[in-house]
Amino acid sequence: MSALARIDDLHVSFGGVAAASGVSFTVERGEFLALIGPNGAGKTTALRMVAGLLRPDRGRVFFDDHDVTALPAHARVRRGLGFTHQIVRPFYGFRTIENVMLAAGHDRTANPWRAITSRSRVAARDKARTILDRFGLAAQAEQSPRALPLGQRKRLEVARAIALDPRLLLLDEPLAGLSSAEATTMADLIRTLPGQGITVLLVEHNLGEVLRVADRLVVLDAGKVMAHGTPQEVMARADVRQAYTGVV
Ligand SMILES: Nc1ncnc2c1ncn2[C@@H]1O[C@H](COP(=O)(O)OP(=O)(O)OP(=O)(O)O)[C@@H](O)[C@H]1O
């Protein structure tokens, strides 16, 4: 079977700075793939091009064998390519469960406001409850996201993305800013997604958690792929250890 996503020779520059210089890799169906590399390697830039948040100067993104390079992010979301932001952005005017319902009602109405006012409300609420349960947020359902600590707000961000039924979920540093216990909880939750039909492409600095939960790694350095393989294969390479950790 072909790859779920194929990233082919992406180039992009900001002013004179090349943030991606021929980035190519595939995301296989059902895998948990992590994109790692030192600061400024181009990880977030690559993820934004896959999501449709940034147009490459050159290169193509294929999702499910379709060339989606020209599609904006919202059109990719409709095809099943979801993403979360590094900085969490819940709707603070809505309760936690309503935040998930806005996404859960997406298949019934294109207008998110109608998703919580129309007859589909009950179905969306049930779906949102199930997702909040899975993400350990059932007790916080009726609270404002403002009242939630960062660890729970980050889980809400992933819960909202899941409610859109993605087949591929792009996660940008979901563990950033979390305590080590919270990071482990979040990594364990993300680890369950491929078993539920959601392929994961993760950008993450927390190498310990990445090595624990990822199936495969792609290492970026200076806008290029320097290595890919299982965590064991990749971390056995001296050039990767030097670029990524500064230790040979
Ligand atoms: N919008 C932008 N405007 C100008 N330069 C940018 C922009 N976005 C990224 N860059 C530059 O592109 C390069 C790659 O940045 P990017 O954020 O993709 O790296 P990263 O690997 O995600 O880094 P980090 O791990 O620090 O988040 C860096 O030199 C960065 O300064």
What are the pLDDT digits (tens) for 171-211?
A: 999 999 999 999 999 999 999 999 999 999 999 999 999 99
pLDDT of 139 above 60: yes
Q: Which two tokens stand for residue 191?
A: 């680890």
Are 173 and 65 within one domain?
A: yes
Report the number of distinct structural domains present in the chain.
Answer: 2
Task: For 18-52, write each residue's pLDDT tens digit.
Answer: 999 999 999 999 999 999 999 999 999 999 999 99
Tell me whether residue 153 is in a domain: yes
Judge whether 218 lies within some domain.
Answer: yes
CA proximity to 83, closest of 163, 1, 189, 158: 158
- The stretch 64-74 carries a mean pLDDT of 96
110, pLDDT greater than 60: no
Written as six digits, the tokens of 84 are: 């979360």
| Distance between Cα 137 and ligand 1 center (Å) | 33
Record the pTM.
0.91
For residue 73, pLDDT beyond 70: yes
CA distances from 241 to 9, 21, 199, 222 (A): 24, 21, 27, 15
Kindly state whether residues 215 and 248 are assigned to the same domain.
Answer: yes
The residue out of 163, 178, 202 marking a domain boundary is 163
Looking at the domain assignment, is residue 85 inside a domain?
no
Q: Cα–Cα distance between 103 and 37 in angstroms, integer?
A: 32
Which residue puts its alpha carbon closest to atom 5 of ligand 1?
Answer: 14
**Same domain, yes or no, for 178 and 240?**
yes
What is the 8-class DSSP label of residue 196? Answer: G
Q: What is the atom index within ligand 1 of the atom nearest the CA of 223?
A: 14
In a domain, 187, yes or no: yes
In terms of domains, do 186 and 147 share one? no
Judge if 171 and 248 occupy the same domain. yes
Mean of the per-residue pLDDT values of the chain? 91
Q: Is 131 found in the same domain as 22?
A: no
Ligand 1 in reach of 12 Cβ (< 6 A): no
Q: What is the CATH number of the domain that holds 23?
A: 3.40.50.300
| Pocket lining: 87 vs ligand 1, CB cutoff 6 Å | no
Beta bridge partners of 87: none
- Residue 113 confidence class, pLDDT cut points 50, 70, 90: low
Whether residue 148 lies inside any domain: the answer is yes
Of 178, 24, 197, residue with least CA distance to 86 = 178
Specify if 150 maps to a domain: yes
pLDDT of residue 124: 84
196 burial via Cβ count (<10 Å: 0-12, 13-18, 19+): exposed
CA-nearest of 119, 6, 100, 113 to 62 is 6
Query: Is residue 103 located within the same domain as residue 9?
Result: no
β partners of residue 18:
13
Residue finishing a domain among 163, 194, 217: 163
Residue 124 corresponds to which tokens in the numbers above?
A: 């969306």
Nearest Cα to Cα of residue 11 among 3, 23, 1: 23
Atom of ligand 1 nearest to the CA of 42: 18
pLDDT of residue 89: 81
Residue nearest to atom 26 of ligand 1 (CA): 39
Whether residues 25 and 47 share a domain: the answer is yes
Residue 246 has pLDDT above 70, yes or no: no
One domain for residues 171 and 245: yes
Q: How confident is the model at residue 108 (pLDDT cuts 50, 70, 90)?
A: very low
The verdict on 146 and 175 lying in the same domain is no
Identity of the amino acid at 205: H
- In-domain check, residue 224: yes
State if residue 44 touches ligand 1 by the CB under 6 angstroms criterion: yes
Q: What is the rounded distance in angstroms from the CA atom of residue 128 to the CA atom of residue 151?
A: 19
Q: Where among 163, 181, 210 does a domain terminate?
A: 163
Q: Which amino acid is at 172?
A: D
**What is the model's pLDDT at position 187?**
97
23 lies in the same domain as 127: no
**Domain region containing 72:** 1-80+166-248
Within a domain: 129: yes
Are 109 and 172 members of one domain?
A: no
